Structure 1
Amino acid sequence: MKKIRLLFLAIAFLFTGFSALNAQDIVEDQIIESLEFREVDIKDVLRQLAKQYELNIVFSEGVKGLVTVQLTNISVRQALDSIITVNGFAYTKKENVYRVATQEESAREGRQSKLFQLNNAEAIKLKDTLAKVLSVEGTIEADARSNSVLVTDTLAVINKIEQMVPVLDQITAQVLIEAKLIETSLTNTESLGIEWNTTILAAGASRKTSLPFEPTGTENWYSNIFPPANTSDGNFSHGNKLGFPFVDTSQFTFGTLDFSSFAAVLKFLKSRTNTKLIANPRIVTLNNQKAKIHVGRVIPIATYEMDSTTGSWRITGWVNQTVGVNLEVTPQVSPDGHIRLKLKPEVSSSSSGIGTGENYRPIITTRTADTEVQIKSGQTVVIAGLVKNRDEVTVTKIPILGDLPIIGNLFKRINRGIGEPTEKTDLLIFVTARIIKDTAEPMLAYDTNILSAPPRPFKLKAR
């Protein structure tokens, strides 16, 4: 019996609540036939409406000013909205109570704060991105120590940022950059040429090409290493000059290789006794972050200053100049697994100089290029065209007499190479880029036996 009585009281309470709500709605829907005020304080106007229609209205201290109202055939709800908003104020309704305040007060009281803890993105950098969606009254603070951002704004903006943060806080893709610098020596009767059986993307080219390292020449097959094979459409088996700028051997050339072609290139080069691997550096970098690789040496170069007393130059210090191979690689990973590589190779060398003793200054020759290529993860970009020539100078002299100053040249003979250089060195740079999908994935997982790949045809060309 007691349970039935309690249930009855609960139902009665609910009906009472619904009745109160319905009564409030009925009052607010009543039609005002005519409402007119001239230069009356807005609080007095709202008090009059509250008294006449039994409304609950409260004001903040900032609500003040004279208003003029002239309304006909309008509901109580519409009249309140018009009088309040047209005069630059705002209101909220909660539990049948209207609260009227200024726009600034309403915005401040309607704001919320939420702390977003970031796992991958940097709070300082993400702050600038999230600040673009804040309202005029919104604020955002970044804490680098805890790697979090505190956002204070309206509920709508907070909800929008809640959707953005998981997208922006994803793990940044990492790319493993592996470079192989291979140097092979060719005599003055040889030039290295590769007949590609895969699509090659070359800087400056508008069609598929064999990307010859030398523009002309005849071929002698190394049939005991790789048997001849038919080339695919667009390849040129004789290495004829194609008329594109990139075939000039004084410039860099760029191309891409899949894994099997890359393995075949290395296998062929390994078979040559005069080929050596100079360096095989590896570096892991984040998406859109530059990676730098340097293989070479540092040359100290003197700096000079004129001595006003003696009228001669004197050494004031030394600066270091790097010489060798510098390679800058910036990867940009796309959602479909492709990698856009910004490549900037620079090759510098110093084979001669001017002056003697402390006044000796090396002459540094530098070649550089700047290009972009797009490859799939695991493919290789080949950079070629880095040919160095070396001439031999033979000196035959009579001991002691040939070393005498001035007259020593009468007792020695110098033979300099004329025409073709006695030795040419071809430097090839292979850059392989792979997307690392798991940060815990070891780099050794990418070590593969390149010699197990099927061969591709190569040839040595004799002029």
Structure 2
Amino acid sequence: MRSSGKTVAFILILLSAVAFASDSVRSLYNKGLKAEAREDYEAAYNYYKAAWEKHPDDLKYKVPYERTRMLAAAQLIKQGQKLRDDGKLEDALNLFMKAAAIDPSSDMALQEARRTQNMIKGQAATEGGAAPAQPPEEDVLHKRLDEAGGPVELAPLSTTPLQALHFASADTKQIYETLGRLGAINVLFDPDYQGRRIAIDLQGVTVQQAFDIVALESRTFWRPVTPNTIFVAADTQTKRRELEQNVVKTFYLGNVATPTDLQDVVNAIRTILEVQRIQQIPSQNAIVVRGTPDQLALAQKMIDDIDKSKPEVVVDVVVAQVRRDKVRMMGILPPQNATVALQGSNVASTGTGTGTGTGTTTTSSGLNFNSLQHLNSTNYAVTLDPVHAQLLFSDSNTKILENPRIRAADGIKASLKIGDRIPVATGSFGTPLGIGTGVGALGVNTQFQYLDVGVNIDITPHVHPDGEISLKVALEISNQTGTSSIGGISQPIISRRLVDHEIRLKDGEMNMLGGILEDQITNNGSGTPVLGQIPILKYLFSQNDKERHTNEVVFLLVPHIVRGQELSNLNRRAFDVGTGIGIDLRKADVPVNKSANAPATNPQGAAASRQQQQQAAPPTRPVAQGTTMQQPPVTVTPAQPQQVTDQPPPGTPVQPQQQTGQQIIQPGPPQQNPAMAPASTPAQAKPSPATPVSTPGVASFHLDPPTAAPAQGSQFTLNLNVSGGQDIASVPLQITYDSKVVQFVSVSNGSFLSKDGQNVALVHRDDPTTGTLQISAQRPPNTPGVSGTGTVFTLVFTAKEKGTGVIAITTPGARNSQNQSLQVTGSQTAVSVN
């Protein structure tokens, strides 16, 4: 008894375990279904995988497990890309590796993982400041490519226009060097280039424009060597081939459909830009181009203009057919025919059989000539038509609506066929003659062709720039209405409705291609003459049938633009590409941001900043004649002039003086120059004249007279004199004035720099909004400097408003014949307008 109890308990435990395992697998599968329904493919994959691992031989669990593998990996890749865009590289890498583990066949996961690893390595090297690890020998070429630079671009130059640039007869090299000093650009010349003398008189042009004008006037061209160095040579085809930069780039096109499209782009670039080194790669939809940076830039523009996704149109086609049949039958139709016929007499006979009872038989004797004389009523038979009474009305409506929708790209034919394909016999063939009639008859075969019956639409759209759509449409509606036997073969009878034409519509405009309207009315009347025509009696002696069949078929087209032609301003813009000798893109001037020129409101802070700048700022390079530098307004209180002491070694490119609010590129490594903060002198602070201080071995600039009291509206003159000058070849300096009190008029060359008869290039820049005047005077290159005392400039101002102000040399500077900075001091003049 105990043994049987244990056996029963064991069986129950085993059955419970099996049921529990079954419930567990089913539960995992159901959880996977729910996760897949809410598009949580990673969780669904895990549930399906767990269920499949419990029953690996059951396809019910294996199929969803394999199906969600790719979906889960794609979902993880998308999440990883989002994390990487947010800067979470480690988390993104973990997701990419997890996606690769789920779907080992996903190359996308491995590519994204490698890319993220490279980003992590680069970030670690940048933050740690350590040098990158040496690449293996096989990666040397990749290392060279990573370290290779792109095309050299000249750093942006100042966009402040030059007020005047005048060279009566100067050597082109001297003009280039002057403009180079003005724009802080080193100028190198081709050893084969021989300068020639030209005359330049320009006003209101920028430094970049002045470079281009001088190049055009002197028939030269220049190319950047570094961001602050240019190389000048004669503008010939030979020199351009020798000296112009060459850049190689691969362009990948994403919207070419056929190899001919790629060839069209290559032909356009080769013809328009005269690029000879160009090769198409049809397998990658790519183009490899070698040319100058300007040629490649224009090639990029042409590819962007041409390689665009084609516009797409969705056309709603509406085929509506309405058929209505009405039938009415009403009336009483009396007998219309009566027939009278002769018949023989009926004779009755009685007979007795072998059984009991007797029988009587009636027979009709035939009609003969003898019986004609004995005719009676039994010999006449009258037959009348039956009376028909009808009262019937039927009304049937049939509506057929077909609304297919077709999407097509611009210029590409799209076809839509909805219906059946019906075989139609087109011919027959048999065995060759001579085999025998019996065998020949058995060898006859019939050829069939299948016709598309139903709705057949062929549409070729074209989207116009104004948003209208041209459609080339072939619309056919056909159906089988019956069959016909031809040669013993049953052939279908097909009814067709065909519209084939070209139209131009607006977006969303409904157009009726064509329609068929049939309206058939039939009236049938029958009855007794005369009586059937009397208004009331006609319903008793006649019958009237009336039928009306209406059939209307309409074809409608409604086009919708779902993707238009995307044309940006860059696509429509025209570019100056230079002359026929070479392609040169002219850079457009970019306005200087005026927000940086707002004056400060703290005079004390401005004065401290100005003093720091005078102590730390290096001497400025000479700038070209007639230019104005963008500077903030500075009003200087009477103070002792500061000395500029830094002297760069010989051969070092000279740094231009930089002020707040102006973007000028400096040659050589960048140096931190204190920005001069704008300030304004309070009205109650009356300036005192500055006394020039002479320092042994240091040249001194001072304004003469030290005080001025002009009347309002009158002009007055200040001379900028130098004393203690030694071998001075150029004088670049900056003067600030109170623009509310005085207004700058002009500057002219003094006699100091031209005392030996040399021509002096005088350049100035004036910013009346900030009261900043930048002046530079330069002797010709390769000439000795001037020593002694004299007048360098003569300044003319106009007394603008009553009040007091200061005209100060805030940044004095001078350079010797070796292009070395000299120690100089400045001064100021107190102005009181009455």
Same fold (TM over 0.5): no
User: Between Structure 1 and Structure 2, whose CA radius of gyration is higher?
Assistant: 2
State the TM-score bracket (shorter-chain normalisation). 0.3 to 0.5
Higher relative contact order at CA 8 Å, sep ≥6: structure 1 or structure 2?
1
Structure having the higher strand fraction is: 1
Give TM-score, length-normalised by structure 1. 0.44
Give TM-score, length-normalised by structure 2. 0.26
